[in-house]
Amino acid sequence: MNNASEPIWLLKPNIHYLNHGSFGATPIAVLNYQQSLRERMEREPVRFLTRELEGLLDEARSQLADFIGADADELAFIPNATVGVNTVLRSLAFKPDDEILITNCTYNACRNAAEFVAHSTGAKIIVASVPFPLESSQQVVTAILEKVSPKTKLALLDHVTSPTASIFPIETLVKELACRGIDTLVDGAHGPGFVSLDLRSLDVTYYTGNCHKWLCAPKGAAFLYVRRDKQASIRPLAISHGANSLRTDRSRFRLEFDWTGTDDPTAYLCVPEAIRVMGSLLPGGWSSLRERNRKLILAARQVLCKTLEVAIPCPDEMLGSMASIPLGTVPLSWESLQSKLLEEFKIEVPIVPLSDRSCLIRISAQFYNRLDQYQYLAEVLKRLIS
Ligand SMILES: Cc1ncc(COP(=O)(O)O)c(C=O)c1O
């Protein structure tokens, strides 16, 4: 349990920070631990990077594996989910007319990666249109399965969508797609710490997740899970020493991903500390923290929808620690609205533009947030847009 009088985060106290979802925020205790690792590295760089790092990565990976219900042998540390998605897409050998299935909610950077690969291989991008507002998660399943064809080779699906902040029914989707012979790459940028993960029972082909968002590890900590049977074909974006290593004590997958050139590995090594620190904020550990944040987001969404007279846009069951609320067409550009909220009202919150000139607002809830911050946001928004 933390001592309530000590600040846990470095976040500026005069800003209502309602955007944990974009880049996370790291507790001071975890940053201090990272600094101690950096000092250890800088005192003896060669010893740290060539003799100690491998064992330290093994230990960190094994603790992450326990947290997400995976085997450590199926995990590689990578700097972020964008790299995870690129790594899989760019490793796979698509042929002309193969189809890569994505959705209208796919994160822009990942859609770009899919389009890049499609362009260079002749594969086609097929976009399933998931409605929002949504009445049930079955609508997500229907919208995606409707777009499957005999040419579908891979589905790239979000676990938690960035613009609409809804949890996709990924267990059902992975199963239904596997029955049709289709591999799934889950973009779980928001997954770890946001939902309770058990990758073993999910039995997905590929899953990439950020540790720097909801696990609150330092920035640049993420993982790529590749099911054992697919590891031979997945190569890191940077080919390095592992490619021709003669070692037989570790898999090629491990040798290649553990060294992709000189870098600062301390964010990866802090993952266990982030799991420990965040898991000790409440007596009930991680499940209590998730439940607390979810309750807060449900209450906050209620306040915003009521004040702005907007219908609740998706079922409670599809929410974790974020929610998006449609604002309709607003009287100023989304960029102006977002910067006005920050500069004039000290509220950091993302406004998401939609193609029809209307927009959404996405709120996040983390341990440092309180309900009155969303009440204030609702009042300010009412003044600015109605
Ligand atoms: C769904 C989704 N995918 C991918 C990303 C990219 O994450 P990163 O910038 O850490 O690679 C984000 C970031 O917010 C996201 O929301």
Question: Residue 165 is part of a domain; what is its CATH number?
Answer: 3.40.640.10
Residue 21 lies in a domain: no
pLDDT, residue 4, reads: 54
How far does residue 13's CA lie from ligand 1's centre (Å)? 26
Identify whether residues 130 and 253 lie together within a single domain: yes
End residue of a domain, out of 275, 304, 338:
275
Reading across the β-sheet that carries 322-329, which strands appear in turn? 322-329, 358-364, 351-353
Domain coverage including residue 59 = 31-275
Alpha carbons 37 and 266: distance in angstroms, whole number: 6
Identify whether residues 239 and 118 lie together within a single domain: yes
Residue 46 lies in a domain: yes
Looking from the CA of residue 160, the nearest atom of ligand 1 is 1
Single-letter amino acid code for the residue at 124: K
Alpha-carbon separation of residue 343 from 122, 317, 353, 363 (angstroms): 46, 34, 19, 18
* Number of domains composing the chain: 2
pLDDT in tens, 165-185: 999 999 999 999 999 999 999
Alpha carbons 357 and 77: distance in angstroms, whole number: 39
Which residues, judged by CB distance below 6 Å to any ligand atom, belong to the binding site of ligand 1? Answer: 22, 80-82, 107, 109-110, 158, 162, 187, 189-190, 210
- β-bridge partners, 329: 358
E strand intervals along 269-385: 322-329, 347-348, 351-353, 358-364
How far does residue 367's CA lie from ligand 1's centre (Å)? 21
Identify whether residues 113 and 232 lie together within a single domain: yes
Looking from the CA of residue 222, the nearest atom of ligand 1 is 10
pLDDT, residue 355, reads: 80
Domain with residue 378: its CATH number is: 3.90.1150.170
Site to probe by mutation for ligand 1, drawn from 82, 208, 211, 223 as the one with most ligand atoms within 8 Å of Cβ, is: 82
Identify whether residues 241 and 342 lie together within a single domain: no
End residue of a domain, out of 256, 275, 294:
275
Identify whether residues 267 and 290 lie together within a single domain: no
How far does residue 45's CA lie from ligand 1's centre (Å)? 31
Identify whether residues 190 and 138 lie together within a single domain: yes
- β-bridge partners, 326: 360
Alpha carbons 98 and 111: distance in angstroms, whole number: 16
Do residues 25 and 9 lie in contact, with contact meaning Cβ atoms separated by under 8 Å?
yes
- Low-confidence stretches of the chain (pLDDT < 70) are 1-5
Residue 306 lies in a domain: yes
Identify whether residues 38 and 154 lie together within a single domain: yes
End residue of a domain, out of 242, 275, 308:
275
Identify whether residues 256 and 114 lie together within a single domain: yes
Residue 5 lies in a domain: no
Atom 5 in ligand 1: residue holding the nearest Cα: 189
Identify whether residues 269 and 362 lie together within a single domain: no
How far does residue 40's CA lie from ligand 1's centre (Å)? 30
Identify whether residues 300 and 192 lie together within a single domain: no
Alpha carbons 143 and 168: distance in angstroms, whole number: 12
Identify whether residues 133 and 200 lie together within a single domain: yes
pLDDT, residue 6, reads: 77
Alpha-carbon separation of residue 200 from 62, 65, 76, 129, 160 (angstroms): 14, 10, 15, 29, 19
Q: Among positive and negative, which fits the CA dihedral 368, 373, 378, 384?
A: negative
